[in-house]
Amino acid sequence: MHGVNTESASIPQASAAPADEASPLDAAQLAEAFALFSRASEELSTAYNALQAQVGQLTERLSVLMGALPAGVLVVDRGGRVVQANRAAEGLFGAGLSGQVWTALAAQMQASGTPGEYTLAARSVAAPDADLRRVALSESELESGDERILLVHDITDTHRMRLTAERNERLAAMGEMVAGLAHQLRTPLAAALLYTGNLRQPELDPMQRTMVADRALERLRYLERLIRDMLLFARGDSAGRQRFAVCELVAELAHTLEPLARARQVVFATDCGCGDTEIVGDRKALGGALTNLLENGIQACEAGGRLACEVALCDAIDSGVGGPAVRFVVRDSGRGIAPELQERLFEPFFTTRAEGTGLGLAIARGVARAHGGDITLRSAPGQGAEFILTVPLAAAGATAGNANP
């Protein structure tokens, strides 16, 4: 048997380092990491302090800016409570606005009939007594959706200046037409005086005397209508405002004008698609403006012609008045209006009728514009005429508070 070499068969064993001893390289890396962390922490702390200083400056600037703004500024949270307000807002709604519910504050504002404008009884330290102001309200929502900013502009002086400018414009138009007005007054007045003078003749029999008296009264009534129209045009829209249903007004107009249309053998039809919609305005003035348009349509139609009054709601895009509106369309089958006459049709004292005062359409447009709307005309010779009176629905809802602006 061969012998086994035990020395060559033995396997050398590697010596192991103690487990609890850290290498010098690992300790250096750890120290360097701590140093980097310390420097980064100091830099972050410095940057944070700088940001805090910037935020403080921005907050101070914002406070100064809000205090200097002439418009009232209110910041309202998602729950509808005021979280911040400037001095101008406190001057309009009173002090201590933070924490109050915006809808309760907005309930103090009453719709004025002009889109985005309201009347407000403002109370402040400087003016403790109630002072009726006219304000404009606008709203901007933050991108986060958590808060919204409401701007309440006091436009009382601007509104008064606007009314004064409109009145001066009307008076200027009247001044330019004084010569024509004098002629219009002199002619029927001279006729009335002539007829009245004939009444003194003793040779007139009772039938002739009655006929002359009727003609004198006819001329005097024309004078009265002319003077009334002049006063309406000079005064503009009256201050009376009330809430009324659109379709009720249309039904009333149909009841009033149907006999006149029937007497002239004109087919008259109305169609109101507004349902229970209500507007706030001067019902008498609007009714008068629409009556004028309808009477003109009846006069323009020949026997057997057609006159239609169609009323419908339209959205902000189609209305042309910056918001939802009611559109009254008066369409006749008459001979139409030449383009050169269309440009002058709304001018004061311009008329194509022998018995017209020339103020009816000017007054109707003034009433429409006083309600925030307007009147437009579409016509072509031989194709009838279409007058479109538009009135905004800004005041159709309840008060500003119920509208929750």
Condensed to tens digits (0 to 9), the pLDDT of residues 237-293 reads: 554 678 899 999 999 999 888 988 998 999 999 999 898 888 888 888 888 889 889
- Bridge partners (DSSP) listed for residue 306: 267
Which helix (H) or strand (E) covers residue 294, if one does?
A: helix 283-300
First to last CA, the chain: 113
How many Cα atoms within 13 Å fall on the side-chain side of residue 30? 6
When comparing pLDDT for 202 and 265, which is higher? 265
Q: What is the mean pLDDT of residues 138-154?
A: 82
Task: Tell me the C-alpha distance between 330 and 293, whole Å.
Answer: 7
Q: Tens digits of per-residue pLDDT, 7-49?
A: 444 444 444 445 455 555 577 777 777 878 888 888 888 877 7
Averaged confidence pLDDT in the chain: 77
Q: In the prediction, which pLDDT does 210 show? A: 87
How does residue 94 score in pLDDT terms, banded at 50, 70 and 90?
A: confident
> SS3 for 78-134, per residue?
CCCEEEEECHHHHHHHCCCCCCCEHHHHHCCEEECCCCCEEEEEECCCCCCCCEEEE
Does the pLDDT at position 396 exceed 50? no
Does the pLDDT at position 172 exceed 80? no
Contact assessment for residue 151 and residue 137, using Cβ atoms and an 8 Å cutoff: yes
Q: Please tell me the pTM assigned to this model.
A: 0.49
Does the pLDDT at position 229 exceed 60? yes
Task: Enumerate the H helices of 199-271 as residue ranges.
Answer: 206-235, 246-263
Does the pLDDT at position 329 exceed 60? yes
Q: In the prediction, which pLDDT does 270 show? A: 92
Q: What is the mean pLDDT of residues 71-84?
A: 86
DSSP 257: H
- Bridge partners (DSSP) listed for residue 374: 390
Q: In the prediction, which pLDDT does 369 show? A: 84
Specify the pairing of strand 385-392 against strand 325-332.
Answer: antiparallel
Q: In the prediction, which pLDDT does 266 show? A: 92
How many Cα atoms within 13 Å fall on the side-chain side of residue 305? 22
Contact assessment for residue 330 and residue 309, using Cβ atoms and an 8 Å cutoff: yes
Q: Using N-to-C axis directions, what is the helix angle for 206-235 and 178-198, rounded to 10°?
A: 160
Q: In the prediction, which pLDDT does 230 show? A: 66
Q: Which residues contact 118 (CB under 8 A, 6 or more apart)?
A: 109, 110, 111, 112, 134, 135, 136, 137, 400
Q: What is the mean pLDDT of residues 223-227?
A: 74
